[in-house]
Structure 1
């Protein structure tokens, strides 16, 4: 991988809520996000310093994470408490699409995308740890993450892939022949084939990433696939993952009780459908920490974070 270039911040926008974990941009350049208290927010004029306007679109009553805009003025929401939701952007009505899988409560729904055939694919980060103890799953390395698909008109999801190390962000290739899913706990992206001779099979798409991948976003089939990096690689954690399950479980019990503060580091990647890295941007001693999402709008990169109380507006790189 090429040496990283600088991730250049322009300004910070407080949004009146903590933890804008995912950010997505609509056709008008507005950015939607969900915060810790369950509100879905829409931010307008974000790229103009001191001019941003924040409005509440809906309240899920849970903890919204991954978002996906739909063409019929609706929003898909992965809620860590309530499951997979559909939210009307005009009326704010929240409807539960999926709250269990084969009788098991869906308690850590993470990221979602809608495909052109009407199907919805989404991830579950962990079947063992809830969101508030997410660090326990990364430490124990449970491999209980899943990729699921909800067919058009169905209310019963099918499991496409399981055994993932903290399944997280999700994106489709430009032609929708495969999905890319982030494995935060393995610092890699996996490809799941939807069509062709490899349909139903998974393989590595990009491995040994310089950080822990979180949410994925692309603005269109011809645009790059943006990957947020929630933190840099942690060599002691990589070493711990090779320890016995008993050692990892003991370490996880300690980790969920210890105070957490993210590293003062920010990073994002952009890849094409061949897995080639187009951009690798980082910032050391960053005041904006734990970048869990990135989207592009109006010539800027917008960063979201599970940790911060606002979003960061950064300079977009020159297209290669």
Structure 2
């Protein structure tokens, strides 16, 4: 597949906050314990109440990691699984960038397509499941396949979307014009749904109930890094996987002539702006206030794209690592 052309849009990012220039939190993230997954790229991680972990790898396998024993393959999507959620009945909802929104039964290893990838769904990325079975999920970009996700960040054309699938199978678009729509999470009381806009360094909220139902606002703006997957913690806080701190060169280029970004995009990938090695997760409450901030050097684990809090621990996924990282919160 040849590299697609980009059509850069001029944008003036807000000045990066001082936190973006700090190499670690105070205190730093505790050293993680690593759980090998016999493969690469466990982009997200979900935790069953019995302690079993589920993740998807770049080769399309969906793995179960029981509390004891080796990983077990429960499905092979034939695509690239990203976000994973556990439904109330213990089955899995998988966002696959090349296959669409999938349903996987780990017990029978049967897989079904709920929303196929195609013209109506380009890059299915992350999801959240409501108590009634409604699924909220992101379509990151209408312009680029997953292999060229960097192009969407450079272009900044804002074609990402937040979609909803109701229990009867109907699908509709709730939000459009998002800057690389990524992580999705529901408030603990399901009063709102949040979607991470990786390309805009913000979390956008859509109210679902109450007097503000249907209204869109910003939960968190001007984050110090690139937000990826989201999840709701046991106390209702929204956890944010931060893949990398903000990039000064990219921020500078966004506000200049599009020729600069087209030139950078034409360079070999190794010469383009790169993520900084770090392991980083933050959490905010339902007002957007930061209530947890854990960042480490990234020497043992980096490019965190998934985060899940369970039983006093954080479970981290990564787009590039060969393991799931476990961080003690206590």
Per the alignment, residue 64 of structure 1 pairs with: 81
Query: Is 2:310 aligned against 1:303?
Result: no
> Against the structure 1 CA distance between its residues 106 and 260, is the aligned structure 2 distance closer, same or farther, given a 3 Å change threshold?
same
Query: Is 2:213 aligned against 1:199?
Result: yes
Determine the C-alpha separation between the residues in 2 that align with 1:187 and 1:199: 24
Superposition TM-score, scaled by structure 2 size: 0.87
Matches within 5 A, 1:31-46: 31-45=53-67
Per the alignment, residue 202 of structure 2 pairs with: 188
The number of residue pairs the alignment matches comes to 308
Superposition TM-score, scaled by structure 1 size: 0.90
Query: Is 2:28 aligned against 1:11?
Result: no
Query: Is 2:147 aligned against 1:132?
Result: yes
Query: Is 2:274 aligned against 1:252?
Result: no
Matches within 5 A, 1:135-146: 135-146=150-161
Per the alignment, residue 289 of structure 1 pairs with: 302
Deviations 1:56-110 (A, max 9, x none): 1111111100111101121111000010111112111110111157xx2423100
The alignment partner of 1:134 has SS state of: helix
Per the alignment, residue 171 of structure 2 pairs with: 157
The 8 Å contact of residues 140 and 252 in structure 1, kept in 2 or not, is answered as: no
> Against the structure 1 CA distance between its residues 199 and 273, is the aligned structure 2 distance closer, same or farther, given a 3 Å change threshold?
same
Task: Choose from 235, 239, 249 the match for 1:236.
Answer: 249
TM-superposed CA distance for 1:296, in Å, is: 2.1
Q: Once structures 1 and 2 are overlaid, which stretch shifts more, 16-25 or 298-307?
A: 298-307
TM-superposed CA distance for 1:264, in Å, is: 1.7
TM-superposed CA distance for 1:158, in Å, is: 0.7
The 8 Å contact of residues 99 and 117 in structure 2, kept in 1 or not, is answered as: no
TM-superposed CA distance for 1:4, in Å, is: 4.1
The 8 Å contact of residues 138 and 160 in structure 2, kept in 1 or not, is answered as: yes
TM-superposed CA distance for 1:255, in Å, is: 6.5
TM-superposed CA distance for 1:190, in Å, is: 0.8
Determine the C-alpha separation between the residues in 2 that align with 1:119 and 1:194: 12
> Against the structure 1 CA distance between its residues 251 and 140, is the aligned structure 2 distance closer, same or farther, given a 3 Å change threshold?
farther
The alignment partner of 1:27 has SS state of: coil
TM-superposed CA distance for 1:275, in Å, is: 1.2
Deviations 1:240-293 (A, max 9, x none): 222344543443343657578642211110111121111111112533110001
Task: Choose from 129, 153, 157 the match for 1:114.
Answer: 129
Q: Relative to total residues, which structure has the larger strand share, 1 or 2?
A: 1
The 8 Å contact of residues 7 and 315 in structure 1, kept in 2 or not, is answered as: no
The 8 Å contact of residues 262 and 289 in structure 1, kept in 2 or not, is answered as: no
- Structure 2's unaligned 5+ residue stretches are 1-16, 20-24
TM-superposed CA distance for 1:299, in Å, is: 2.5
The 8 Å contact of residues 117 and 124 in structure 2, kept in 1 or not, is answered as: no
> Against the structure 1 CA distance between its residues 253 and 149, is the aligned structure 2 distance closer, same or farther, given a 3 Å change threshold?
farther
The 8 Å contact of residues 9 and 312 in structure 1, kept in 2 or not, is answered as: no
Q: Once structures 1 and 2 are overlaid, which stretch shifts more, 279-288 or 20-29?
A: 279-288
Determine the C-alpha separation between the residues in 2 that align with 1:163 and 1:253: 25
Determine the C-alpha separation between the residues in 1 that align with 2:274 and 2:42: 17
The 8 Å contact of residues 187 and 232 in structure 2, kept in 1 or not, is answered as: no
TM-superposed CA distance for 1:200, in Å, is: 1.8
Determine the C-alpha separation between the residues in 2 that align with 1:233 and 1:255: 21
Q: Aligned Cα RMSD in Å?
A: 2.1
The alignment partner of 1:136 has SS state of: helix
The alignment partner of 2:104 has SS state of: strand
TM-superposed CA distance for 1:131, in Å, is: 0.9
Per the alignment, residue 48 of structure 1 pairs with: none
